[in-house]
């Protein structure tokens, strides 16, 4: 389904940069190798702050784009505050136990997350159309054609942000069954 973004922040992630980010993640070698194989030559990473919703998209330029995160938020002064539910394991069971709050703001053309400048992002109002994967709404017998494994994109796509606490809901819970908790 085509989705038009009109006011967003975007960064371009090259394969080299994705591999650099992935190298900083604490994951086992087998999983790292699997993820490395799925990283495309280039990915556009978009953030939107519309009404009371934060959305994070990734698109490699072929196949469909992925909606990685969709989280509630609210405006407070000149910031947009994103509410991230947190999860932990209790006696082998999963339990939500609270919320993390991330504030985003633009200042002098710079994206700030929790008052930290995120230099790879630039702001744009130039309309961009993303062919969004909406299989989570209407499952299809044929899986969507992505150029990367969405369920592993959190390990390298949003690594320029401090939002790994939301990895467990990245790709709109599509990875929840494979979630490994400490």
Please tell me the total count of domains within the chain: 1
The whole domain housing 170 covers 2-178
State the pLDDT at residue 58.
92
State the pLDDT at residue 147.
47
State the pLDDT at residue 63.
86
Q: Which residues of 5-44 are buried (b: 16+ CB within 10 A; e: fewer)?
A: beebbbbebeeebbeebbeeeeeeeeebeebbebbbebbb
Over residues 89-98, the pLDDT tens digits come to: 666 666 667 7
State the pLDDT at residue 179.
43
Q: Is the pTM of this model over 0.85?
A: no
| Better-scored residue on pLDDT, 135 or 143 | 135
Tracing tokens 């371009």 back to the chain, one arrives at 12
- Which bin fits 69, alpha (ψ -120 to 50), beta or left (φ > 0)? beta
Q: Give yes or no for residue 142 having a pLDDT over 90.
A: no
Over residues 28-85, the pLDDT tens digits come to: 899 899 899 989 999 999 999 998 999 999 999 988 888 888 999 999 989 999 998 8
């Amino acid at each position: 389904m085509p989705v038009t973004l009109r006011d967003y922040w975007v960064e371009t992630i090259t394969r080299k940069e994705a591999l650099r980010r992935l190298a900083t993640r604490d994951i086992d070698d087998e999983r790292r190798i699997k993820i490395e194989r799925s990283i495309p030559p280039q990915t556009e990473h978009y953030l939107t702050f519309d009404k009371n919703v934060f959305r994070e998209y990734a698109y490699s330029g072929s196949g469909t784009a992925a909606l990685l995160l969709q989280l509630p938020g609210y405006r407070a002064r000149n910031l947009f505050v994103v509410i991230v539910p947190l999860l932990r394991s209790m006696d082998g069971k999963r339990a939500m136990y609270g919320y993390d709050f991330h504030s985003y703001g633009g200042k002098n053309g710079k994206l700030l997350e929790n008052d930290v400048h995120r230099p790879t992002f630039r702001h744009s109002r130039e309309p961009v159309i993303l062919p969004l994967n909406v299989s989570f709404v209407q499952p299809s017998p044929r899986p969507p054609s992505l150029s990367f494994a969405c369920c592993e994109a959190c390990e390298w796509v949003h690594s320029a942000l401090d939002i790994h606490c939301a990895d467990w809901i990245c790709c709109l819970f599509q990875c929840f069954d494979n979630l490994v908790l400490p």
